[in-house]
Amino acid sequence: MENRVHNFNPGPATLPLPVLKEIKENFLNFSDSGMSIVETSHRSPLFDDVLNDAVNRTKRLLNLDKNYHVLFIQGGASLQFCMIPMNLALPGRPLNFINTGTWSTKAIKEAQIQGKDVRVIASSEDKDFSYLPHDYTVDKQASYLHFTSNNTIRGTQWQQFPNGEDIPLISDMSSDFMSRPIDIKPFGLVYAGAQKNIGPSGIAMVIIREDMLERVPNTLPTMLKYTTYKDNGSLFNTPPTFAIYVIDLVLTWLEETVGGLKKIEQINKQKASLIYDVIDKSDIYHGTTEVNSRSLMNITFRLPDKKTEELFLAEATQNGLHGLKGHKSVGGCRASLYNAISIDSVTALVTFMQEFEKKSI
Ligand SMILES: Cc1ncc(COP(=O)(O)O)c(C=O)c1O
C-alpha cells in the first residue's frame, strides 16, 4: 500500500506504521499550534506535554518505582559508555564487566581510557561471543556490574539477567529495551540508544536510580553529569525535540495499541520462534549462537558459503525483504525483529527462507 518494504534493519530500524503516519499527518500543524514540532520551543507547554508524556509512559510501561528517573541524553548509547564510569565509579572500588561482544568491549574500553580499575569478570570471547557466560564472581567491592542485555551483532540475549548480588547492575539495553517487562530493582542504571525499539538515532534514554546520583563528581563538565539532566528535566540545553516526540508516539503505540510489555513480549517470542523453527529444521541455515543464549531481537545465521549468502541476500532484497545482512565485523545474515516488525513481515521472511532452501537443495 505505502510501498514499504519488510525492514529487518538492525538500527536505525523500522518504526510502527501508525507512528509514521501520525508524524506525516500532523507535521505541518502540530497539535493545532500552526507550527511543526521541530519549530516549537523546547520550553513551550506544548513540548513540555510531549516530554512529560514520554517520561510518564516509560514509568508506567516499565513499572518504575518512584526512586527512578527517566532522562533523555544526546549522543546515543556510545556516550553512555563513557558517562557511566565518569559518573558512577566509586573511588577505590573496581568496575565489573561481562564481555559478550562488540558493544560490551566498547563500554570496557571507555572505562579503561579513563584509567578506572576495570575487571572483566566473565567473557565469551573464547568462542567468538556465541554464548553468554554464566560462570563468574562479582567483586564484593565493585562500584557496579555492567552487561549488555542483548548483543545486536552476535545475536545473544540474557533471558535471565546476571546476578549482581548486592552490587548495582548497569545494562546497555539498546537493542531489547521495551521488548519485555523487566524487574528494575537490581538496576542502578539502564540505558538504550533509541534507534532500535523506541525511535530515531542520536539519543539515549537513561533510567537512573536516585542513590546513583549521589555518586556524580562535582568536577565533571556540566553536560556530562547525570545530575544536570535530572535537575533540569532533560532540558538543560535544547534537546533533540523531534526524537523525543517520535519516542513519545512509539511509547503511546506500545502502551495503547499493543497493550504493554507483557503483550509485546508474547508477540516477540512468537515472531522469533517462527524464524528459529526454520533454522532448526533446515539443512542450509545454521544459527551462530548456542541455543540457550539466543536472542529474540536479532537472529543471526549463516548459509553454507559466502556465495550462497550473497545470493540469499540479493534475492531477499528482490522480494522486498531488506536489512538482512549480518554486521560487517562478522558477516553472515541477521534478521532484526524489533517491536515494530509485524508478524506479516516475519511470515514473508519464513516463506522466502523455505523457498530459497527448496530451490538450493
Ligand atoms: C547494544 C548496543 N549498544 C550500543 C550501540 C551504539 O549505539 P549508538 O550508535 O546510539 O551510540 C548499539 C548500536 O547498534 C547497540 O546495538
* pLDDT tens digits, 144-195: 999 999 999 999 999 999 999 999 999 999 999 999 999 999 999 999 999 9
- From residue 197, give the alpha-carbon distance in Å to each of 9, 105, 246, 278: 11, 22, 11, 24
172 belongs to the catalytic site: yes
Give the C-alpha distances (Å, rounded to integers) separating 260 from 38, 60, 107, 266: 28, 9, 30, 10
Peptide bond into 12 cis (omega under 30): yes
Predicted pLDDT at 191? 98
Q: Of ligand 1's atoms, which has the minimum distance to the CA of residue 10?
A: 14
290-302 pLDDT tens trace: 999 999 999 999 9
Strand partners, 209: 68
Q: Which residue among the candidates 176, 196, 230, 248 is catalytic per the annotation?
A: 196
**Is 1's pLDDT higher than 70?**
no
Model pLDDT for residues 2-26, shown as the tens digit of each residue: 789 999 999 999 999 999 999 999 9
Whole-number percent of the chain with pLDDT over 90: 99
Q: Which three cell numbers stand for residue 216?
A: 556524580
Query: What is the average pLDDT value for the chain, to the nearest integer?
Result: 97
In the residue annotation, 307 being an active-site residue is answered as no
Please tell me the distance from the alpha carbon of residue 91 to that of residue 9, in angstroms, as a whole number: 41
If you average pLDDT over residues 249-253, what whole number do you get? Answer: 98
Name the residue type at position 294: R
- Collect all residues with Cβ–Cβ distance below 8 Å to 136 and sequence separation of at least 6: 98, 121, 122, 162
Determine if the pTM surpasses 0.85: yes
* pLDDT value at residue 2: 73
How remote is the CA of residue 193 from the centroid of ligand 1, in Å?
6
Residue 205 has pLDDT above 70, yes or no: yes
